[in-house]
Structure formats: structure tokens, C-alpha cells
Structure 1
């Protein structure tokens, strides 16, 4: 991409990045997402929307003859009568499982040797997505990390034919490798949109307060959501830049970028009815946020922190930058949670009380919520608490994602999968 000439502040930011890596920034200084906010930082803001509890919804653990070590993603359904979906485990296993209560599972891909030595909190497998034409072409896509050098890898692979396909590791084709300054804030979720394009969520690369300002730097891919055409090629790239990408013709912005200004986006999901792209973004000390991601929009990090200006960056990286606030944010200052987990808009049939609501959770507190939206104005109007983790129980949600029928499955870091479902008759208003 030598034809592009970045303007000076891009060069300065990259020099800061190179300098930090060359000086050996130690991995142990990268914070885990549990730093409490001091009440002296800012006054506690009021909850901007009403909150209620929706009773009669609980979790039912799916029984399998094994635990699934830190599940992070669940694919759409494989073709065929088996009704299998692939669960991706952070340390390198991919298992085709049935969610019908039978407990049946089989190995789809074993990447554990590839993941050898990758043991830090956020490293490992981050996503899997079946090609929209998987039934015909058997292609699927992976997002995972590697070391030496530390990087995010996005790749394509084929699976065998038949009704119980398995991966063919020898067919792997690398699409994209993004160097990572630190083993933190990887992001990494991937999904296909209704437009057939592959969407990739990437974090800012780590350390507190995005010190290299990568999320706002339009010449790097960190802190961005990317959009790639995996069915074509642009020049010598192993993918194509969609012609309608917002910055496809900008010489000062990477053309892969669909939206920018994210810290650690975790959970990409398209609403099957509206086409909205939802993304939860893990915060630092104060805010956890939910965004409806729009083409070309900037969601503020690290010039902004949630719905407020960031105290650690008194001036924006690029003066005059317009940013988009989250549709909802909750804060550690109110004791609501400490690490948001993305979900999806409920479009199933078994829980009509949740129809059209966005489901999400908190990894640290084990709380599950539903966000009711004003769909015309695209703003949140009410938050419903669906579940609170009982004391002395294990539940650290890593994702809420639909099964083949649109009913929510919760993945938990402790190795379990759960159904979110009615436990008793409740009002459907």
C-alpha cells in the first residue's frame, strides 16, 4: 500500500507504537478489566433509562459429557438434519455440538497444538463464522492469535462434504495478519452480514487509555470494525475491498475500515429483522457500552469514554472529529458490572416478552439484561434485568448467541453452555 501517503500525525502515532514495542513494554502491566473506579473521579451519573426486573426467566445448563474450556463463539447451524453448531473454545478446540439436550458432540477442528504456549487471559481463539454459502462451498473463517510475532490472524478454511463435515486444516488460507503491540484488548469476533461481507471487530491493542491512540488512528486497523469481501480480490490482497466501504476511496484511511473508535469490541451480531449491526465494547474504569454500528461512524474511544469525554486525553487526536454516542452504557460507579459481554437481538418464538430486545450480560457480575429500544429513533428506553448470578456459583458469560431457531444460548468461561428460557408463565406485555 505504498501509494498511500499518511499525514504526519499518523506517522507520529506509529512511531510511538514502534518505540513502545522496541522498549519492551512488559505484558504484566496490561490491565485486566477489573480496575475499580474511584468515586472521586466524577459524580455518579444517574441511570438514564428506567430499569425493571422481568421475572420468570432463568438459565438451564445444557448437559454434555465434558466441559468446554472457555467457549467464546458459536457458529450458525451446519447444513443437514443433525442440527449441529460449532462451538469455538479459546484454547484451540472447535466442537460440533447438538443443542437439543442429547449432549452429543464431536471434534470439528483441533487447533490446540497451534495454540501451544498461548495462555494469557485474552489470547487464543476469538471467533468462527460459516460462509453464507457454506452448504455449497464448505468455507468457514477463523479469528485467533499467534505469538512470535504477536498478531491477530484471520483465515479461511474448508470443511469436508457430507452431513457431518469436519475441518481440513491443510486448506487454511491466511487473509489478514494484524501485528499486536500487547497481549490485551484483542477483540476478534467475526460475523457475516446480510450483505455477504465479513465483518471483523478489533481492539485497540492494549494498555490503559490507548496510549498510542490507535483506536482513533485511521491508518491502523486496531480499534476498528473491518468489512472485507472474501469472494473477490483487490490487486494482490487475499480479499477484496468492497466498493461501498466508507473509506474505500480515501488515501488517508485504511480502506478495510467500516467503523472506528472501539476499545475492546466483544460480540458482533446483526439483527435479522432490521439489519442493524450491534456491538458491545468493553470499557476501562467507568463505562461499558453498546453500539449500533453505522457505516463510517466513529464511536469515540479513546477521545471519549462511553458517553463522556475521556479525562486521560484532554484533546482529540484529530481536531473536529465527530463521534457517535453508544445507545446504552452502564457504569462501575453504580456497581452495575465491570466487563460487558455482547449478545444479539431476540427474534425467537419461545419468549415473546423479549421480542425485539437486545440481550447482553456482564462477565464479572454474571448479570443478564435485555435492552428495549425505540426502533424509530434508535435509542434505548428501558433496561430489564433477566438474571442475576446467585452467590457462590460459577458463571462468567462470554457471549449470548442464538441457536438455529433464534433462542438464546449463553456461553460461560467456566466451561458450560446454558439456555436462557422461561421458568414459569409471565406476562407478555
Structure 2
């Protein structure tokens, strides 16, 4: 599964005789003085009456990583699979799907847990220019690729691989923490979430280094050109005129961001960030903000760096963080601010999930102070259920859809059967 790493092979262990954490993509690490278990900061309650509805197809979608709506008004979404297959699907229960792009030959030999396809996003003017954008990885050298491609005209477009134009390549030091989700904002600009490049503790301090793109949210104007760059630097990017920073950076201090989404009412940008040993966090991304990694993890300072990389660095705490110390989960999956119409009980809550535990939550918010006030359990995975969510996103109507690693797609919706229990 893309970027959610080796959880499938690495158990999560807690031993308070000397805390041992076997965590995603890392070897077990012994901490001789176990950290105190923090109290739950907000109440948690179970919300009944809402459940997962399995969308049946005549195939499984192996390791789906993201879903993007085709802006044609034809009711199709394109699902991207980690190993290079893209399918246009209908989420209306009909089970219809068709090929959109076959990138599997390009992905040949890309087999490590976080390598592969990470994102797809359609240009806001796709109906006239037929452009869409991809995020994926390549080797020799190991790198993240952001590219532009065209699709055929008509109501059922398919990709034209020969039209690909590479916009950006970011060399990666290690095969972990790629991030890679991409999304167009309401401003028409392309946002790109990149991880810190991997292994434990951000050993190269890349997430805090303003001269590299790792561990950052980038913001590009793909309709313009700056100098000889194949894209434009928005004039209001926070570091556009700072010679000490990369001008593409919109926000920094992230470890392994997964699940970019914009609130359809406010335009706010949300991002879940997978933690290391202790914390999983949700961030409300703001221009120029620093979210702390790897000086901080979740709401706490890290023990493995003696001090901040840059002096006098101001950081922004997450909107919400949950911890492995309480057994709440081990790998966060974003995420959207619900503005749909079918489930009034969830209106205005932030929906997210945990890959390892298969739990789905709704986070009630204090919008004024931008903090969580209550966490609602929407779904807990039964022991016999194969459900490891890789993304919680939405269809064209804003209704929640979940992708699961084993190849299934689900809707989150009102369930009379659950409500009557």
C-alpha cells in the first residue's frame, strides 16, 4: 500500500517494562523510560445509525490510493491504484468501470511499500483543455515525479500517455515517507503534499529545511511559467521572495502527509500526517505555517533532536492528535470536512480513519478556535472484516467514499439496519 508503509508486516507492540514500539517502516526501537500515557483531551462517543456500504464490482482494485472526480458531469470518478492502473468507475451501485490509463509498465520494478502511484488531479478547466496531473515514483534515481497529461475528448475520456509533460522531479533519499497526494485548490492552484523522505527521526532534518521540498506542502501555478521553470510560482506564496527558501513551499514541517482535502464551503485545507512512534495528527494547513516535524511529533517535542534545526522557529499544533499509547490507532488516513446532504448528523465534522485499526471517526470542531471538541466513532472494524482504509474522500456530491487496501470501495451512509440495533 502506498506510503502507509510496512504495517502489514510489522506488529505494534507495547511493553511497559521498557516500551518497545514496532512501528511502520521502521525496526523496533527500545525506549528505556516509557512516556506517560496522556489523558484523552476530548470526549469520545459512539455514533450509531451510520455504516459502511460495500460497493460491488466484478473485480478488486488492488491497493487503491486516491479517487478524483472526472469534471464532465457524467458521474464517473477515476480511481488510482498503487501499481499503475487507473480506472474510471461509477459509485452508484451499478458496478460499472472502464480503463482510463494503464501505467503498469512504467511502474515495473516499483515494488516497495510506499513506491508507486500516489495521486491524480483534474485541471479545473479539464472540460476544455483535457489536462490532468499525476504524482508517482520512479527509481534510478529514486524520485517523485509530478507530471501533466492530456485525455481524449468526449464523454468517456481516456488518457494519452504520449502527451505526458514532466513538471517536477524530487530526488528521494530513501524509499519511505513519500506523501504524494495532489489536489487543486479553490484558487485554481495545484497543491502537492510531500513526505520527509524517510526512515526514522527525519535523519537529514529535511522537513524543517526550507531549501528542500521534502516534508512540505507545495503550491504551483500550472497555467504560468516562472523563468525557465515548467510551472509558475504564485506571487503570494509565503516564500516567493525569500532567497533562503524554496519559493514552491506553501507550508512545512510534515512527516508523511496523506489525504489533502479542501472544505467546499470555507476553502480551508486539511491534511492528515502519519506519525512515528506515538502520535497521529490532523492539521489545518495555513500559508507559511510550520507544523513542527521533526522538532515535534503531534503536540509534543521529540526526544531524538536536541533542539530545533533553525533558531526561533514558531510551530503550529495539530487540530487533533491521537496516540498509540492509548491504543487508538497506528496510522492515520485523511480525511474531509463533511458538507454533504445525506447525513445531517455529520454536517461540519472532519471525517478520518486509521489504516491499522480500521476505525472511522467524525471530529466535531470549535470552528472559532480551530480545535476539536468531541470525537465520534462512526465505524469500528469487526475482527473478521478485511478493511484497511487507504483514503477517506468524497464523490462528486460530497458524500464520503472509503478506499481499502485489499481492493474494496465503500460508501459511508445511513443504515437502517444499524440504526435499529
TM-score by length of 1: 0.90
Aligned positions, number: 398
In 2: Cα distance, 1:211 partner to 1:281 partner: 18
Deviation per CA, 1:60-102: give whole Å up to 9, x if none: 110100000100000023304x311100000000000000111
In 2: Cα distance, 1:30 partner to 1:217 partner: 25
Q: Judge conservation of contact 2:81–2:117 (CA < 8 Å) in 1.
A: yes
Q: Judge conservation of contact 1:75–1:85 (CA < 8 Å) in 2.
A: yes
In 2: Cα distance, 1:39 partner to 1:393 partner: 36
In 2: Cα distance, 1:78 partner to 1:295 partner: 27
Counterpart check, 1:155 vs 2:147: yes
2:113 matched residue in structure 1: 121
In 2: Cα distance, 1:290 partner to 1:300 partner: 13
Matches within 5 A, 1:340-359: 340-359=332-351
Q: Judge conservation of contact 2:23–2:277 (CA < 8 Å) in 1.
A: no
1:405 and 1:35, CA in 2 relative to 1: closer, same or farther beyond 3 A? Answer: farther
Identify the match of residue 56 of structure 1 among 49, 54, 59.
Answer: 49
In 1: Cα distance, 2:280 partner to 2:394 partner: 22
Name the SS of the counterpart of 1:265 in structure 2.
coil
Identify the match of residue 176 of structure 1 among 168, 173, 177.
Answer: 168
Residue 53 of structure 1, CA deviation: 0.7
Deviation per CA, 1:277-327: give whole Å up to 9, x if none: 000000000000000000000000000011000111121000110000000
Q: Judge conservation of contact 1:37–1:332 (CA < 8 Å) in 2.
A: no
Residue 390 of structure 1, CA deviation: 0.3
Name the SS of the counterpart of 1:353 in structure 2.
helix
1:367 and 1:198, CA in 2 relative to 1: closer, same or farther beyond 3 A? Answer: same
Q: Judge conservation of contact 2:51–2:418 (CA < 8 Å) in 1.
A: no
Deviation per CA, 1:247-279: give whole Å up to 9, x if none: 000000000000000000000000001111000
Counterpart check, 1:43 vs 2:42: no
1:143 and 1:366, CA in 2 relative to 1: closer, same or farther beyond 3 A? Answer: same
Runs of at least 4 residues off by over 2 Å: 33-41, 424-427
Counterpart check, 1:68 vs 2:61: yes
Q: Which runs of 5+ in 2 are unaligned?
A: 1-21
Deviation per CA, 1:131-186: give whole Å up to 9, x if none: 01111111000000000110000000000000000000010000000000011000
Q: Judge conservation of contact 1:343–1:401 (CA < 8 Å) in 2.
A: yes
Matches within 5 A, 1:207-246: 207-246=199-238
Identify the match of residue 166 of structure 1 among 143, 154, 158.
Answer: 158
In 1: Cα distance, 2:396 partner to 2:23 partner: 38
1:36 and 1:344, CA in 2 relative to 1: closer, same or farther beyond 3 A? Answer: farther
Counterpart check, 1:99 vs 2:110: no
Residue 34 of structure 1, CA deviation: 8.9
In 1: Cα distance, 2:382 partner to 2:191 partner: 36
In 1: Cα distance, 2:194 partner to 2:337 partner: 21
Identify the match of residue 407 of structure 1 among 382, 387, 399.
Answer: 399
Matches within 5 A, 1:159-308: 159-308=151-300
Residue 422 of structure 1, CA deviation: 1.0
CA RMSD of the aligned region, Å? 1.7
TM-score by length of 2: 0.92
